[in-house]
């Protein structure tokens, strides 16, 4: 919630609302979505992903995704962010089509499930044929900078049929290079900073997460100054 407000303050044109960034993002609660719609005036797109992990969803998970789209559409969001694959790593065209039909006339973005698909060019063609509006991708690499060559080729092949939006590992230091080398027009950034908890009493022996023990007394929140800086960089490069 705080990040959505900060993104608007920093000049963002749109926010992708999600929770559990540690797992790549999952669907936020309806309460969170309602509050975001109340507090910000920019476009709010919401990820439709019932869990972390792979993008091969069970029938029960798929039904949950459909219900989430119907509920969030009625709440007044601008768009949904989805992604589903088959066992062979191809786009799950049939079930993706069903989600698109439920979502329309909202915007539909396909998220980084694309980055673990088996054939990026076949996947791109499938998404264009499905009528997806936007593709979020790191170029099938851990970060945009590493996937810049593929992203550039995707932008070239996509033309005006679908928006290619690079995202993952974009920083103020590499954004100018990414803009110039990919030819993309939209960019997906977090621009976060660590905010220390206001808790005065702290039992730092106890963790609520598993394995890597994420810190309990600080959170990552979008920094409006960082978002503003990204916008300035984009305008500076694209104006020349």
Is 165 within 8 Å of 135 (Cβ atoms)? Answer: yes
**CATH classification (class only), 2-190:** alpha beta
> What pLDDT is recorded for position 238?
74
| Range with lowest mean pLDDT among 21-35, 61-75, 164-178, 219-233 | 219-233
Q: How far apart are CA 181 and CA 170, in angstroms?
A: 13
Neighbouring CB atoms inside 10 A of 87's CB total 8
pTM of the model: 0.83
Nearest CA among 239, 144, 150 for reference residue 190:
144
Q: Whole-number mean pLDDT of the chain? A: 90
Asked if pLDDT for residue 12 goes beyond 90, the answer is no
Asked if pLDDT for residue 216 goes beyond 60, the answer is no
> What pLDDT is recorded for position 190?
82
The domain locations on the chain are 2-190
Q: Two tokens at 127?
A: 């998404």
The β-bridge relationship of strands 79-82 and 43-47 is parallel
Q: Two tokens at 54?
A: 């792979």
| CA-CA-CA-CA dihedral for 175, 139, 182, 8, to nearest 10 | -50
Q: How far apart are CA 88 and CA 93, in angstroms?
A: 13
Q: How far apart are CA 167 and CA 186, in angstroms?
A: 9
> What pLDDT is recorded for position 211?
59
| Range with lowest mean pLDDT among 117-126, 129-138, 165-174, 222-231 | 222-231
The β-bridge relationship of strands 192-196 and 134-137 is unpaired
Q: Which of residues 230 and 62 earns the better pLDDT score? A: 62
> What pLDDT is recorded for position 61?
95
pLDDT tens for each residue of 33-81: 999 999 999 999 999 999 988 999 999 999 999 999 999 999 999 999 9
114-121: list long-range contacts, CB under 8 Å, 24+ apart. 114/83, 114/140, 115/139, 115/140, 115/141, 115/147, 116/54, 116/55, 116/85, 116/89, 116/140, 117/85, 117/89, 117/90, 117/91, 118/88, 118/89, 118/90, 119/89, 119/90, 120/150, 120/154, 121/157
């Amino acid at each position: 919630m705080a990040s959505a407000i900060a993104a608007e303050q920093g000049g963002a044109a749109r926010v992708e609302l999600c929770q559990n960034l540690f797992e790549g993002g999952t669907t936020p609660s309806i309460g969170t979505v309602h509050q975001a719609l109340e507090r910000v005036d920019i476009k709010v797109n919401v990820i439709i992903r019932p869990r972390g992990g792979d993008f091969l969803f069970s029938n029960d998970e798929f039904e949950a995704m459909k219900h989430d789209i119907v509920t969030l559409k009625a709440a007044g969001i601008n768009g949904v962010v989805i992604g589903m694959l088959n066992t062979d790593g191809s786009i799950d065209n049939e079930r993706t089509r069903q989600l698109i039909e439920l979502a329309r006339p909202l915007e539909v973005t396909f998220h980084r499930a694309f980055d673990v698909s088996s054939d990026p060019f076949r996947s791109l063609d499938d998404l264009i044929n499905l009528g997806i509006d936007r593709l979020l991708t790191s170029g099938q690499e851990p970060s945009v900078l590493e996937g810049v060559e593929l992203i550039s080729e995707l932008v070239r092949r996509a033309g005006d049929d679908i928006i290619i939006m690079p995202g993952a590992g974009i920083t103020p230091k590499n954004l100018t290079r990414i803009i110039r080398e990919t030819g993309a027009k939209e960019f997906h950034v977090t621009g976060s900073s660590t905010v220390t908890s206001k808790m005065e009493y702290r039992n730092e022996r106890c963790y609520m997460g598993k394995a890597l023990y994420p810190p309990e007394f600080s959170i990552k929140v979008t920094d409006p100054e960082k978002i503003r800086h990204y916008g300035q960089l984009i305008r500076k490069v694209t104006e020349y």
